[in-house]
Chains A and B, each alone.
Chain A
Amino acid sequence: MTEMPSSRRSAFQVLTGVFSLPAGARLGAGPTIAALVLALIVLASICAPLYVPYDPLAMDAMSRLRPPSDEFLLGTDPYGRDIFSRVMTGGRVSLLIGIGAAIVSVAVGLVIGLLAGFFRAADGIIMRIMDSLMAIPAILLAIALVALNGPSLSSVIIAITIPEVPRVVRLVRSVVLSAREEPYVEAAIALGSSMPKILIQHLMPNTLAPLIVQGTYICASAILIEAILSFLGAGVSTEIPTWGNIMAEGRSYFQIKPGLIFWPGLLLSLCILCINLLGDTARDLLDPRMKKREG
């Protein structure tokens, strides 16, 4: 496709337009705190190997179920593994799955949604497939997919992505359906622009703002679903600590060692709360109608 410099510049402006705050808009205290907390958790998880005192997988029969102390900050689990090291390291996989699933499902959903929205012929078939996917409960579908592919990071991401894709497709399709009736799209047809050009240059930018919002929700729900999958034993292999499987393992020791569920659960809830809050803020900022009502 022939691209001209001015189009690249304006694509850049589109993106900065989406991300930068409108003039005069100020983030309230809630979103600011949420962003800080989330940044802290993400940073702490990424840098976990640099500062955790123990190998999260190293077992020690001599120090089973220790209470919190100077030696073990949050105590140890039934196998003598340091809970603090495990929880902080576990965040890496949980967050990776959350962000990975959000990006993959938004990308796949965007492509399918654009096609469904623009080509009448494809629409019927694609949407019926999406409808039938939506008819199956997400967790059931994910369990089935993991069972088929075996427990690994990529198969968990795929298992979480597939139930999310139909939602993204519906969103993109609805935006495209209304945008394609805009006179400027018809003008582009009259100017002889090719279908791919119209799809990518005229229609896709319209979907960016709602997709960013949807992405944050998918991210939060993916972290949650991963935790549920791990809890049910259908997540990533127990070799790799995640918030979900730490909690799953701690289930039977809950009464004598509540910290096993409490600490990963706390971080998980905090993350999801922050992400959802930021998603809501993004929606309000990107949707001019919501902004007016607040006005």
Chain B
Amino acid sequence: MKFKTRDLSTAQRVLKIRKLKVGLTGRPDAQPVLNEIDLDIRAGETHCLVGESGSGKSVTSLATMGLLPKDALEVQGGLIDLEGFEITNATAAQMRDLRAQRVAMIFQEPMTALNPVLRVGEQIEEVLNMHTDLSKSEAKARTIDIMEQVHLPDVQRVYSAFPHQLSGGQRQRIMIAMALVLDPDLLIADEPTTALDVTTQLQILKLIEEMQERHGTAVLFITHDMGVVAEIADTVSVMQKGEIVESAPIRELLTNPQKDYTRKLLKAVPNLAPRPARAVSEKDAVLNVDRLEMTYGGGGWFRKSEGVRAARDVTFDIAPGRTLGIVGESGSGKSTVARCIMRLIDPTGGEVTVAATEISRLSRRNLQSHRKHLQIVFQDPYRSLNPRWTVARSLCEGPINFGTPKSEAMERAAELMELVDLPKDALDRYPHQFSGGQRQRIAIARAVAMKPDLLVADEAVSALDVSVQAQVLDLLDDVQDRFGIAMLFITHDLRVAAQICDDVLVMQKGQVVEQGPAAAVLANPRHDYTRSLIEAAPGRHWDFANFRALERAPAVEGPIA
């Protein structure tokens, strides 16, 4: 793997943060949110700030922009020096001048960062109007120029487009154009690619790098993804609980981390080397999906409309104790397939056979008794548990629906809490008293309480921090070993799929483009789309957990399905 090894020690220092302390407004004695952090970024350097959620990455960036929410957070000490200008005690007017001209920011979600009712070209021009005396035609010329620089296609058309008419990647390009139009010295990027598909992410990362080289901008890049860090960073700071644990050049940090926390963080990062597949099961498949088809819309009273074919001709089966992963980018139809199998939506064609019963056309009433065979774990642990219910009540809901007496269900719930490694007294608490990872454990316990034959995990670890992600993946593995459950694992992240799946099915635009054993698909992708997905996976050449470059994935065994 090639890391950046540029020597920047002679370059001019753009940002200098010393002993910066940020705490709750009006409560200097409370635990600070940022505790005396130091940070240096030089011109042309990309400095990555990594850490898990709540570690203070975003607060650092907001403090640098002078955008701390005043009634909640305040700077309680230290200094932020932007090329000789002290930000911590700047006035609002000074900060307004500073932003865009010398420091700019791009955000995670470009759809909400852009004004939905203004044309994107006008939004870029507004920055020029605010900060320069350019005439109308000059401003437009400059806007068109920067839009060409960020490689937007058909610039004249995009100039007068509204944000919703552009793709996520194009919107992020607009944000980058807006941030760089006044040629700032420092660009702060707060998780700018987290909401994007991997292939788009790769393009945006390349674009930021290109713009950085062209303008000599210093970049403070905030991310939770070690893969992204490995691709773009010159230097890295690892944050934990408001402190910078370790700060080092990228190669040093990845090959020889000094601090335990950094090691722990790196050990949790999944890589693309597939897990050893489990023995092929002799038993009959638990789930058979045959030519499944789902078309949204269509019909209509007077005129037949086309409808969106979100899934077509999807065929696969899963044997007990094995895991099939469905991977694909957003809009590929992977979640549609999961929801059809769960019968949360009704498929428009094909057959779904679970535990020897065809369920795709059962009426709601007849379906009820088959629900216990299949359970689902959702992506967002904050929304998948009823916030008004105790954990015990959530865990007992399913079994009681199927006639288990309450006392027995409670006993089982207590056992399950042990299984998912949560204290028994957690049963009487409410979801908001738990962290995201703990809630996901509860959601898994709730699904397992039904003793299902098939567990569908719909992006079940995507919203979690890497270390928590690794734990939840272990838990899923454990549950599967213990109960011999078949699992359908839906994910957009090939690295996660490599960690848990025996077989992989790649979807694009509602169709299956490739399917087979995980080792075969990941090592020898046969379809161009699979290949581009693998190539876009950030940090794919590095084995983070072992602090070394990744050897090639094991050789393919057996014929490819």
Binding site for B on A (CB under 8 A): 2, 4, 6-7, 10, 13-14, 17, 182-184, 186-194, 197, 202, 205, 295
B372: A residues at CB distance < 8 A: 192
B426 at the interface (CB under 8 A from A): no
State whether A190 touches B401 (Cβ < 8 A): no
- Chain A interface helix/strand/loop/mixed: helix
Q: How far is the CB of B230 from chain A (nearest CB, A)?
A: 33
A205: B residues at CB distance < 8 A: 388
State whether A190 touches B380 (Cβ < 8 A): no
Q: How far is the CB of B343 from chain A (nearest CB, A)?
A: 8
Give the docked Cα–Cα distance between A6 and B384 (Å).
20
Known contacts A187-B446, A191-B446; A10 and B393 CB within 8 A of each other: yes
Closest partner residue, chain A, to B458 (CB atom) = A183
B384: A residues at CB distance < 8 A: 183-184, 187
State whether A4 touches B376 (Cβ < 8 A): no
A191: B residues at CB distance < 8 A: 371, 375, 397-398, 401, 446, 450
Segment 363-421 of B: residues with Cβ below 8 Å from A: 368-369, 371-372, 374-376, 378-380, 383-390, 392-393, 396-398, 400-402, 406
Contact pick for B344, options A4, A6, A10, A189, CB 8 Å: A189
Q: How far is the CB of A5 from chain B (nearest CB, A)?
A: 8
Give the docked Cα–Cα distance between A13 and B368 (Å).
30
B71 at the interface (CB under 8 A from A): yes
A-B CB pair tally, cutoff 8 Å: 73
Closest partner residue, chain A, to B372 (CB atom) = A192
State whether B393 touches A190 (Cβ < 8 A): no
Give the docked Cα–Cα distance between A191 and B401 (Å).
8
B254: A residues at CB distance < 8 A: none
Q: How far is the CB of B393 from chain A (nearest CB, A)?
A: 5
Give the docked Cα–Cα distance between A95 and B12 (Å).
75
B393: A residues at CB distance < 8 A: 4, 6-7, 10
Contact pick for B383, options A14, A17, A184, A188, CB 8 Å: A184
Q: How far is the CB of B317 from chain A (nearest CB, A)?
A: 21
B443 at the interface (CB under 8 A from A): yes
Closest partner residue, chain B, to A294 (CB atom) = B71
Q: How far is the CB of A22 from chain B (nearest CB, A)?
A: 13
Known contacts A4-B400, A202-B386; A187 and B406 CB within 8 A of each other: no
State whether B374 touches A190 (Cβ < 8 A): yes
B17 at the interface (CB under 8 A from A): no
B342 at the interface (CB under 8 A from A): yes
Q: Quick one: which of A10, A197, A295 has the most chain B CB within 10 A?
A: A10
State whether A192 touches B371 (Cβ < 8 A): yes
Q: How far is the CB of A17 from chain B (nearest CB, A)?
A: 8
A-B CB contact pairs (8 Å), 16 listed: A4-B400, A6-B390, A7-B389, A184-B387, A186-B342, A186-B344, A186-B378, A187-B378, A187-B443, A188-B397, A190-B371, A191-B450, A192-B371, A192-B372, A192-B402, A193-B401
